[in-house]
Amino acid sequence: MEPAGVLPQAAWRLDADPRVGPDEVRVAVDRLNLDAASYRQLRESCRGRAEAMRAAVLEIIAQRGKMQNPVTGSGGMLTGTVEEAGPQSPLGLAAGDRIATLVSLSLTPLAITDGLASWDGRSEQVPCRGHAILFGRSIAVPLPDDLPGPLALAVLDVCGAPALTHRVVSELTRSAGPADSAAGRPVVAILGAAGKSGSLSAAAARRAGAGTVIGVVPTEAEEVVLRRSGLADRVVIADARDPVALSDAVLGAGGPADVTVVCVDVPGCEGGAVLATAQGGTVIFFSMATSFTAAALGAEGVAADVTMLIGNGYVPGHAQMALGLIRAEPGVRGIFERRT
Amino acid sequence: MEPAGVLPQAAWRLDADPRVGPDEVRVAVDRLNLDAASYRQLRESCRGRAEAMRAAVLEIIAQRGKMQNPVTGSGGMLTGTVEEAGPQSPLGLAAGDRIATLVSLSLTPLAITDGLASWDGRSEQVPCRGHAILFGRSIAVPLPDDLPGPLALAVLDVCGAPALTHRVVSELTRSAGPADSAAGRPVVAILGAAGKSGSLSAAAARRAGAGTVIGVVPTEAEEVVLRRSGLADRVVIADARDPVALSDAVLGAGGPADVTVVCVDVPGCEGGAVLATAQGGTVIFFSMATSFTAAALGAEGVAADVTMLIGNGYVPGHAQMALGLIRAEPGVRGIFERRT
């Protein structure tokens, strides 16, 4: 609705009218999953008081027609049941389908009708009643029957990372030709490998044929978790914000990396990721704390011929790949169950 | 010097000691070329008064040991003459060489000794006396004899853009196999094609085998300039901040683009660049005004399976390629001469 002409993600305010257009879908919402940065900001600014948090979220949604935190700019995702699909909707959904959306709440028209009465503010998962509108180019997937809801939500929230990691590593292993040993196969470093997107990306890298997966974690506690998971061939402790320490750690563990995957959520990791990567290699930035200029000028400043990818949250088949990994890899599932 | 442990680009303050380390080079500086964003900020905050501008630049350099504008974060480049090269310097420079640096002033140790007395503040090119230090991983190139200094500087300032554009388009044409017609060859859209990085990138795309080069410009005046240059097969006027208008314009000119190159310097072009690009295509962001999150969430939000590259300013051979283009392409040279 304003400003005119921009895409929904960039808009200040959306139209949350429940009537669906010919290619739209209306969903009866039962749960919002606020993204971590937004939830933390709300909790801190409201000093953890549930009533204030409910009021803050309700005011944002009423003002903006979507749940986009004006401070962080971020949103989250939702689950619900399809109520009505327009005749030209390409999403393949029918009334009664239980779904999760894979596009951000920051671009999804939304209205809440129950005052968030069931939310105690102690979790980023917000039970609610209301409706949301999906566009023709939105993405939604059926909720799996065989996984607990919170686990499935947590997996779907980060499913772009393993999919893009798999694609990039696969392209390298394909051009390297078949090989039975690690020799000649790509070295992949995962920064934040004991986290959600990191553990999925480590499993995806191995499945795509990586020769060595180096998991980088910030603490001894996370080192123990990652070693137990078996997801990485080598585990090292380093502060990803310290470029020399990080690149030394990756070099000492078999690097430099042909592919470095940035899954940590603190600012200032661009230089270290570039230095830990081989000339001709690739850095994939999934952290929303990435600075475009720090990456661009930082790589130039050390004459690093690295390809730097903005981690696109959408890759065809991403949801099914991530759900497949959590089903097949006990190491990934263990990390997620600890964290959800 | 502070904070400890970060790379020079991220540091607040550098050590500009003129004594060179074994792999360093000292340059007698004769000219700084402030980047456009930094120069504009300085001129506006000083209301264009030369004395205030000189004082502001001198204070930054004295405080920080480098010319990194604390407001914009950006720097620029410099020209000078090599005074001393450490015995282990890998840069291949010797005393007396006339060079330009291709790494940002924002990471180059620098001291000024003449009070910038010769600078009247009316140009981003700042005549000066002083010294700078190049590291082992810095990049510097000899100044060409056959081109006017200001023209060479302007070309070298943006030489990463045509080099990366050439690499990305070449990979597509190689995998497409040989072809004599435009059919089957990639469509490349250049946003800001009548500018410096844009005109070089358009010429590089054609040289790399693009089937159709679509030049997008914001005004009728730039449309005339671009048509005369002959650098684009199709020229369209669109506001790159208006995603629907931009994608309609590119579609109408033979798009969607297999490769979209963002060379405009205004914020808010991420969504339009993504929408103008074909599924499976690539967007290269060279604009320092690019928002990482807007690109990542925006592409996800429209289910766009596009590869998004952070425009690395360093590609091996980038300076020679850009200088070669300005020598060989009268269309590019005309645009640069209008602008320098």
ipTM confidence: 0.86
CB interface of A with B, residues 146-165, below 8 Å: 160
**What local confidence, expressed as pLDDT, does residue B114 receive?**
97
| pLDDT confidence of residue B59 | 97
| Distance separating alpha carbons of residues B284 and A217, to the nearest angstrom | 31
For position A321, what pLDDT does the model report?
97
pLDDT cut 90: percent of chain B above it: 76
Contact residues for A230 (Cβ-Cβ < 8 A; gap 6+):
A331
Region for residue B284 given its phi and psi (left: phi exceeds 0; alpha: psi -120 to 50; beta: otherwise): beta
Contact status of B243 with chain A (Cβ, < 8 Å): yes
Q: Please tell me if residue B67 touches chain A, with a CB cutoff of 8 Å.
A: no
The length of chain B is 340
Buried b (16+ CB within 10 A) or exposed e, B181-205: eeeebbbbbbbbbbbbbbbbbbbbb
Over the stretch A289-315, which tens digit does the pLDDT of each residue have? 888 888 988 888 788 999 999 998 889
CB A151 within 8 A of CB A340: yes
Average pLDDT of the residues of chain A: 92
Say if the Cβ atoms of B292 and A297 lie within 8 Å: no
Region of poorest pLDDT, from A45-59, A68-82, A101-115 = A68-82
Q: What is the pLDDT of residues A122-178, one digit of tens each?
A: 988 899 999 999 999 888 999 999 999 889 988 998 899 999 999 999 999 987 655
Greater model confidence, A130 or A1: A130
CB A169 within 8 A of CB A261: no
Is B23 in contact with B136 (CB distance < 8 Å)?
yes
Q: Nearest-CA residue of chain B relative to A284? A: B309
pLDDT of residue A182: 64
Confidence (pLDDT) at A181: 60
The answer to whether residue A180 scores a pLDDT higher than 60 is no
Considering only CB atoms, which chain B residues are within 8 Å of A275?
7
Q: Identify the pLDDT of residue A178.
A: 56
d(CA A9, nearest CA chain B) in Å: 6
Give the integer Cα–Cα distance in Å for B69 and A268: 19
Residue A73 has pLDDT above 90, yes or no: no
Q: Tell me what pLDDT residue B176 has.
A: 66
CB-nearest to A303 from B139, B275, B306 is B139
In this prediction, the residues of chain B whose per-residue pLDDT falls under 50 are: none
pTM: 0.88
- Give me the residue label for tokens 């990756």: A250
Q: What are the backbone angles phi and psi of residue A45, rounded to the nearest 5°?
A: -70, -25
Alpha-carbon gap: A230 to the closest alpha carbon of chain B (Å): 30
Mean pLDDT of A312-321: 92
Q: Which amino acid is at B215?
A: G
Cα–Cα distance for residue pair A4/B152, rounded to 1 Å:
42
Q: What is the pLDDT of residues A23-70, one digit of tens each?
A: 999 999 999 989 877 888 899 999 999 999 999 999 999 999 999 998
